[in-house]
Amino acid sequence: MKDQNGPQRILFGALAFSFLVFFIVIVIIADRGDGNRWWGFLVRHRYGDKLGHLILVGTLSFLGNLAFSIRPLRWLPRRITTVTFILFLLLTIEELSQAFIPSRSCDVLDWLADVCGLALGQFIALGIRARLMR
């Protein structure tokens, strides 16, 4: 990871981009109201939807934080990476937008699961990045 253009950075970037595309497809499917057809098994479990949010957003945060080490914004707390902050803003907007989409519902618990996924993904990614840089 010491080489900014090394094979690991390219691999992590490709994985992050691929997962972002996958994530966007999931949002589009959910916005169209077709989610239950694809992942209805999650809704059958009490907190399946929240677990889905946690895993999807956690994976996105993990891959994004591995792929991009963007210089931290000075006004952000040191513990929050720029990637995590950008994802936080986008996911908050996406969750709020669901209030205006008939097939969706704006749910604070979904948003909290997203925030937990962001934190968990960042924590794991930074730990792995620190080990790879040794």
Q: Say what the pLDDT of residue 70 is.
A: 76
Higher pLDDT, 55 or 46: 55
- The rounded distance, in Å, linking the Cα atoms of 22 and 122 is 19
How many CB atoms sit inside 10 A of residue 85's CB? 17
Closest CA to 81 of 67, 69, 95: 69
- pTM, two decimals, is 0.86
CB 132 within 8 A of CB 1: yes
Model confidence pLDDT, tens digit, residues 52-74: 999 999 999 999 999 988 777 88
Q: Say what the pLDDT of residue 78 is.
A: 81
Model confidence pLDDT, tens digit, residues 4-20: 557 888 899 999 999 99
